[in-house]
Chains A and B, each alone.
Chain A
Amino acid sequence: MSQLFQSFIFKSRTRTIFSKLNPASVLFLYIFLALADLLSFNLELLIAQTVISSLIVMITKAPLKFVKLFLIIATWFGLVLGLVTVFFGLYSGRIIYSFEFAGTLLRITSGNLTNGFAILIKLLNLGMLTAFYVFVADPRSIVSAMETIRVPFKFSLSLALVFRNLAIFAGDFEIINQAQRSRGLDINKGSIFQRAKKYVNIVIPLVFLALKRADDLVNALDTKGYDPKTGRTSYYSYRLMALDYAVIALSALLVIFVAIYTFFPHLIGISV
């Protein structure tokens, strides 16, 4: 899986309609759609947003294998948070089932179920949006996007390097896991405590390697003349065009609509 992730992070980006946009508007599109997703708690609205995200992903022609990778991670998080909400949530609604847990009476209500499901959809949508952004934006376009909106280079560079390092980190994890398996370490065997202890044998070399890689990277940046305190020129100069403004405005409108729908529904004549 890590090899797949690495190959997509480091591969040449496919040219799509989003390549024609200023990287800043692609970043805004991602941020606004993700924000709308986080603000939304209505199941129908979330499903509609997920349909929009799916269409965007389809336009990018991102390979299914790649999108699946993000959806698997999102599903795991979504299931955990969703189940916590179902069993321990305090949402009102029809009581479907009640049980005692650690001396406390817990109720699974229709509200818990709806919200638990909404969380799962929310995470899946977020996974889809992240797959879209990672697929279209390489580290340099993240920097360019942030330069357009006047974020200091040292911050945008740091963010771009997080992307690069995540992919390398994923590859290192895979190799270390194999190296320990080849010495008989079986992390799937034993109690939870024993398994956690075994993970230490993967985490230690991973952290050491990450620190070494960080040191190498700092040396590379230094010797390439990078100094955050001094100015620099930029090869890329992007201007926001009409299409960029349209994309930013539309995605911002979506956030406003979701915020009103969620927090001030009466303003648009909806009763919740």
Chain B
Amino acid sequence: MKKIVFDNISWRYSSSKEWALKEINAEIEEGEVVLVTGPTGAGKTTFCRLLNGLVPHGYPGTLRGRVYIDGRDTTTIPISKIANFVGSVFEDPESQIVWTNIKDEVIFPLENRRIQKDEMEERISQSLGLLGLLDKVDKTPYELSGGQKQRLAIASVIAARPSIIVMDEPTSQLDPVGRREVMEAIKRIRDEYNSTIIIVEHNIDALLNYADKMILLNEGCIVIQGEPDAYYSSVEDIVRYRGPLPECVELSYRISQITGKKFNCYNTDCLKEAIEKVIGNKVIEVNEWDIVNFDSKGDTAVELRDVSFVYADNTKALDGVSITVKKGEMVGIIGVNGSGKTTLAKTLNGLLKPSSGSIKIFGKDVNAYKQAELVGKVGYVFQNPIHQISCRTVREEIAFGMKNLGFNEEIIRHNVETLLERFNLSKFGDAHPYNLSRADQFRVTFASVVAMNPDILVVDEPTTGQDHAQSHEIMNFLQEENKKGKTILVITHHLRFVAQYIQRLIIMLNGKILYDGQTRNAFSNYSLMRSSLIEPPEMSKLSYLLADKGFHGLISVDEFIDRIAELATF
């Protein structure tokens, strides 16, 4: 018998005219790891909710069709009963953690299932042990890192031993270290228990090695599904339906294209073998990269000298930071969660006052600026658009900052219309921003900051919650603004985009600057990556593996293809 059967299922939320899912048919076997992906708004979260019963039991709407788990129709079983065999892990680790103590978090679902105390003890140690949290049992979730919090959420789920685990974007809010921790946890669960695991993700690179089956959703429909080999045999369709294409798959596909031989690689080891086959004994003789000289002349836009910042609870978020950014530079800031990136950004436009040191914007101390003048110079786009949106229409929202800064009515009207068009938001001009998707909301808040025409743009995690295509749109936009002369600082965890778009990189750890220089050099420096606790992009890992062939220093798919095309033995 199939473990899970989606039998021609359609669902429409009562708040929407559109069907979130349309005539979904899928079958999942026991013990399979299924990766569900697709662009924003494709219906991925609704897919998860159908499994854990939140749809149709937790949301009003119209349902057609049935979902069967072990032959039972879950559309007729209450959520609390479904929870006996389906465990759920959500995107935001903090929103799903109920208690302020790690042990209590694991105990709670066990108490709900009426497990006796002796058995609880056993399950607590087993699940926390499996997720590597046993030594943290006396801590509170607040004292854990993002990855540890998400592992706690998973530990709490597996303690109840459900036969199915549903994870809705479990790594999207995590830094690379947190992401790796969760991946390893999933692997351990798969090896230890025979759980059926359904994972919804945008960022699927690291998950590919574990997937038994892939499902691509687009506009509420399953457009491609199958085992990874079969799924990735239709790369053109994946791109057409805006599905994510991991770098390894993209390179493998493009090598197949230029050589005429079929390669199905999902990881760097497989790609190394494939490339060695293609190039034979050839080696890149000269590997000279464009040496980027960060212009040491020009006007200084941002200058930090020995800046430290200590929060009220004595957390030292910045520790003697010194940076100089010239006008017109585009700089990436990366680092694990808690390394001080956001604190650094907030000191630039006066939201936080440093405990010591000095910050100058265009040669003038930040404290000498009036707040309105400073926010006009340094625009800061927050990570979560919900923190910024406060107006009734998208138009009003974009105009908000300009009104506060006293822009002329005519300029406001002109800027709003220009930005609506430029950010592809024209059709939403009179819509309430809260009714838009997260990706669209981000574009609205982004536009509202750009509208104030700041000389420096600080953007915090612009690609979080965006699908692959949207992430490229945003990065392209930042690049365009940079070409127009704006100074851009991008805080991000998505290193693939850093490698592709940003030449100067700052790496932070424990409130200090660990590296400040060329992106390529950073990603090519394996020991730096290790000491900064950062997982380098897949292409950098591949370049380490192929260093003896002269591939050292390559960081993008295009660069690999260029070199392989030169060396390939056809």
Residues on A facing B (Cβ under 8 Å): 1, 3-4, 6-12, 65, 138-140, 160-161, 163-164, 168, 172, 175-176, 178-186, 200-202, 204-205, 208-209, 212-213, 216-227, 230-235, 237
Contact = CB atoms under 8 A, between A and B. Distances in A.
A135 to B, nearest CB: 13
A179 B387 contact: yes
24 contacts: A3-B311, A7-B312, A11-B140, A11-B142, A12-B140, A140-B99, A140-B100, A164-B100, A182-B351, A183-B448, A184-B371, A184-B372, A184-B405, A201-B391, A202-B390, A208-B389, A220-B96, A220-B97, A222-B80, A222-B83, A223-B83, A225-B160, A226-B108, A231-B114
B100 A9 contact: yes
A164 B115 CA distance: 25
Contact of B349 (A138, A172, A182): A182
Interface string B91-131: 01011111111001001111111111100100000000000
Q: Output the residue of B349, B351, B376 with the most chain A CB within 10 A.
A: B351
Contact of A184 (B94, B96, B404): B404
B285 interface: no
A1 B387 contact: no
Contacts, number: 181
B375 interface: yes
Interface in B335-374: 346, 349, 351, 371-372
B contact residues, range: 35 or more
A6 B390 contact: no
Contact of B142 (A10, A184, A230): A10
B266 interface: no
B312 A185 contact: no
Given A181-B371, A208-B434, A219-B90, A233 B99 contact: no
Interface string B451-472: 0100000000000000000000
B292 interface: no
B351 to A, nearest CB: 5
A241 B186 CA distance: 45
Nearest to B91: A216
A225 B81 CA distance: 7
A138 B142 CA distance: 13
A222 B90 CA distance: 13
A166 to B, nearest CB: 12
Contacts of B108: 224, 226
Given A225-B83, A235-B120, 11 more contacts: A11-B143, A12-B140, A178-B346, A179-B387, A182-B382, A184-B375, A220-B90, A224-B108, A224-B109, A231-B114, A234-B111
Question: Interface centre among B57, B112, B117, B156, by most A CB within 10 Å?
Answer: B112
Contact of B114 (A140, A164, A222, A232): A232
Contacts of B405: 184
Nearest to A235: B107
B376 A184 contact: yes
A153 to B, nearest CB: 9
B54 A219 contact: yes
A138 B100 contact: yes
Nearest to B82: A223
B390 A204 contact: yes
B43 interface: no
Interface in B466-519: none
Contacts of A181: 351, 371, 375
Contacts of A221: 98
A225 B142 contact: no
Interface in B380-402: 380, 382, 384, 386-391, 400-401
A175 B156 contact: no
B58 to A, nearest CB: 6
B198 interface: no
Nearest to B375: A184
